[in-house]
């Protein structure tokens, strides 16, 4: 039987919601991951240090006994975020600030309306050696949804990088060849997370044969040429710039399967096995450990996890659903077979 032992991975982009739903999903990440950077787009958003620390306590209470899993916290960047907020966040051990352009994705109504007005705040983030996380899409209704990431690069990200080259920025859940090329060519202060869905699927999976709501996420899945560019990025010469961030985003089944289904794919239950299958299919299983366990820790200035996990080449069938508070959540690849299983 084929086995693969790697340093325990980290998930540098995770949604766990709150309340009973949080208690349902946190154990999945705790089983696989050493750390996870938790996103702050709750209602209301996690925009203050006090809110972040309270949220961290909720997450810690849901971690199974014996697990060494550590949640890393982020704050929601708003038009009212101040330099003092940044300094307080640094002192409290918060890792990052997250940019949601207003209206770009789930619970982003409180997001930033004009990032350039917040340049002094970004200067402070850089000065405090914190990380700036960007949901990289413009929200201009005149821009096609499939082009919003590429336009964001031109209109927002590149100008900010020119103004603040010292700002350590993570281009989150990249989906396009343009984003992969930018990160690969940029200096060491720009990196990117890449999700399993954007490495595995193209927009045919979402649209061919009818709209399939459980493949709907934001940023939206793109053309096959973009998927291939992402595979090349995470396995190629500049692969150290890219790391694991699932963007696992659970929603109740009913919120996905309706006339206006919400965006997000839940991958946390089998995340590392899915990534293993992706890297194996690309002929690059030897690159998985760096992507999952080394590159993100290095970019965040963290030590690598001290323990390991073992994957076994043993097929498993992904359940059709999991409990999610008082509802259920449909996972990525529901009902399908995975080639790898996490041992133990």
Q: What are the catalytic residues?
A: 247
What residues pair up with 102 in beta bridges, in sequence order? none
DSSP reduced 3-state for 327: strand
**How far is Cα 321 from Cα 332, in angstroms, rounded to an integer?**
9
| 247 annotated binding-site participant | yes
Say how many CA atoms lie within 13 Å of 6 toward its Cβ.
24
**173 annotated binding-site participant:** yes
The verdict on whether residue 15 carries a ligand-binding annotation is yes
How many other CB atoms are found less than 10 A from the CB of residue 308? 12
The answer to whether the annotation marks 251 as part of a ligand binding site is: yes
Q: Is 214 annotated as a binding residue?
A: no
Query: Residues near 104 by Cβ (< 8 Å), separated by ≥ 6?
Result: 111, 135, 137, 139, 218
Any binding-site annotation on 17?
yes
Ranges of H-type helices in the chain? 19-32, 49-61, 83-91, 119-127, 148-152, 158-163, 177-185, 196-200, 203-207, 224-235, 253-256, 271-281, 288-289, 295-299
| Residue 240, marked binder | no
Pairing of strands 190-194, 242-244: parallel
Return the sign of the alpha-carbon dihedral for residues 42, 48, 49, 51. Answer: negative
State yes or no: 16 annotated in a binding site: yes
Return binding residues for substrate: 15-17, 41, 135, 218, 251, 263
Return binding residues: 13, 15-17, 41, 98, 135, 173, 218, 247, 251, 263
Return binding residues for Zn(2+): 13, 15, 98, 135, 173, 247
């Amino acid at each position: 039987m084929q086995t693969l032992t790697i340093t325990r991975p980290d998930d540098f982009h995770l949604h766990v919601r709150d309340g009973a739903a949080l208690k349902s999903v946190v154990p999945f990440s705790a089983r696989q991951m050493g750390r996870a950077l938790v996103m702050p787009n709750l209602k209301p958003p996690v925009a203050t240090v006090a809110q972040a620390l309270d949220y961290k306590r909720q997450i810690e209470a849901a971690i199974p006994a014996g697990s060494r899993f550590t949640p890393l916290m982020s704050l929601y960047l708003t038009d009212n975020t101040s330099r003092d907020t940044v300094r307080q966040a640094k002192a409290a051990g918060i890792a990052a600030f997250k940019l949601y352009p207003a209206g770009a994705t789930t619970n982003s109504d409180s997001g930033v309306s004009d990032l350039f007005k917040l340049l002094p705040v970004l200067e402070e983030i850089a000065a405090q050696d914190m990380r700036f996380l960007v949901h990289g899409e413009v929200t201009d209704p005149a821009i096609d949804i499939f082009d919003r990431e590429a336009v964001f690069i031109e209109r927002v990200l590149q100008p900010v990088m020119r103004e603040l080259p010292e700002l350590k920025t993570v281009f989150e859940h990249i989906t396009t060849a343009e984003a992969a090329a930018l990160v690969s060519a940029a200096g060491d202060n720009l990196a990117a997370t890449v999700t399993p869905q954007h490495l595995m699927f193209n927009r045919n999976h979402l649209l061919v044969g009818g709209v399939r709501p459980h493949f709907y996420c934001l940023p939206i899945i793109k053309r096959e040429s973009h998927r291939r560019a992402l595979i090349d990025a995470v396995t190629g010469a500049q692969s150290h710039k890219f790391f694991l961030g699932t963007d696992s985003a659970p929603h109740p089944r009913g919120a996905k399967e309706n006339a206006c289904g919400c965006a997000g794919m839940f991958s946390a239950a089998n995340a590392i096995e899915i990534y293993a299958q992706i890297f194996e299919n690309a002929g690059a299983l030897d690159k998985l450990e760096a992507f999952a366990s080394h590159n993100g820790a290095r970019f965040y200035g963290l030590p690598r996890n001290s323990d390991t996990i073992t994957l076994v080449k043993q097929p498993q069938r992904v359940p059709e659903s999991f409990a999610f508070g008082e509802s259920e959540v449909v996972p990525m690849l529901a009902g399908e077979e995975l080639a790898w299983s996490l041992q133990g």
